[in-house]
């Protein structure tokens, strides 16, 4: 196994366990009445944290070739809104299990958008993964919040694939900075329309969440640039263990049998696919 692939996998393991801390903070929000306000706070705080680094590195504040950065920024904004809605209404482990449908969706979208080769094993993996999501979501209960988590997973898959479209001269710091900066005007417009009053607790949670989320986003940028998506996606599932443990310890959550069955259907086939791809 080459060194870049090893680093990509290790960083994804790190990032996926760190981002669970961000999700845990979001669960502390009081409902989801003002998701755009939270997203705005998160993007502003991330931009301000990254700005000194951009200046220190003497990187341009608004470089050229921003089309794909702007596209990813708005997909990221949409995904964060749905993520907030799902995390504040679903158990932490359940929401994260659905988020981890993103690698399955990535396999499908990679074929549709980038014409990556799809084998029978890849198709079987995607089919079983979607069955796993349906088992967890339980469509008979018509849980709209679980569907919100599935939308968030789809936006995550899209953003990971679009990393390959970014200009090669833009590094990880540039990408994180631009993803947050370019979404601020839209987030501000929707937050203004939302009309929620300033909330200090929401701001503090957003700052902490932003810090952890940037670590995850940075690992994704490196990993999906360094290796083919189907060789590293299974590393993302390690965060599900952290989600279950944190949910039990801090939110008194006890996942039911449907959660474990669905998680196995998502994780095991994609892990086998990844191992076969590395071979």
Q: What's the CA angle centered on 196, arms 194 and 199, to 5 degrees?
A: 145
Alpha helices in 101-237 (DSSP H): 102-114, 120-137, 144-162, 172-181, 184-194, 200-226, 229-232
Contact assessment for residue 277 and residue 228, using Cβ atoms and an 8 Å cutoff? yes
Cα–chain-centroid distance for residue 33?
Answer: 21
Contact assessment for residue 205 and residue 22, using Cβ atoms and an 8 Å cutoff? no
What pLDDT was estimated at residue 141? 54
Structure tokens at 271: 């892990």
Structure tokens at 224: 């999906």
Q: Taking the model in full, what pTM does it have?
A: 0.78
Using the structure block, give the residue that is written with the tokens 């990971």.
Answer: 160
171 CB burial (10 A radius; 0-12, 13-18, 19+): middle
What pLDDT was estimated at residue 181? 95
| Rg for the chain, CA atoms, rounded | 18
Which parts of the chain sit beneath pLDDT 50? Answer: 142
Mean pLDDT of the chain: 83
What pLDDT was estimated at residue 225? 78
Model pLDDT for residues 40-63, shown as the tens digit of each residue: 999 999 999 999 999 998 998 888
Using the structure block, give the residue that is written with the tokens 């979501």.
Answer: 137
């Amino acid at each position: 196994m080459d060194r870049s692939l090893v680093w990509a996998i290790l960083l994804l393991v790190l990032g996926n366990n760190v981002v669970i801390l961000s999700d845990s903070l979001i669960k502390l929000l009081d409902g989801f009445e003002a998701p755009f306000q939270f997203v705005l706070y998160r993007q502003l705080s991330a931009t301000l944290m990254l700005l000194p680094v951009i200046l220190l590195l003497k990187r341009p504040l608004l470089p050229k070739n921003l089309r794909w950065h702007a596209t990813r920024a708005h997909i990221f904004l949409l995904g964060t809104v749905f993520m907030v809605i799902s995390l504040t209404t679903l158990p932490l482990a359940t929401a994260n299990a659905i988020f981890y449908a993103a690698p399955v969706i990535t396999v499908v979208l990679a074929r549709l958008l980038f014409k990556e080769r799809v084998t029978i094993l890849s198709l079987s993996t995607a089919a079983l993964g979607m069955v796993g999501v349906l088992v967890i979501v339980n469509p008979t209960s018509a849980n709209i919040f679980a569907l919100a988590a599935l939308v968030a997973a789809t936006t995550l898959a899209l953003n990971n694939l679009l990393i390959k479209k970014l200009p090669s001269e833009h590094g990880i710091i540039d990408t994180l900075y631009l993803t947050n900066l370019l979404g601020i005007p839209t987030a501000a417009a929707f937050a203004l329309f939302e009309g929620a009053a300033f909330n200090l607790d929401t701001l503090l949670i957003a700052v902490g969440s932003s810090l952890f989320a940037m670590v995850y986003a940075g690992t994704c940028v490196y990993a999906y640039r360094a290796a083919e998506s189907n060789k590293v996606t299974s590393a993302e599932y390690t965060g599900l263990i952290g989600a279950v443990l944190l949910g039990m310890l801090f939110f008194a959550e006890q996942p039911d049998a449907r959660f474990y069955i669905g998680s196995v259907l998502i994780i095991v086939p994609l892990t086998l696919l990844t191992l076969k791809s590395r071979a």
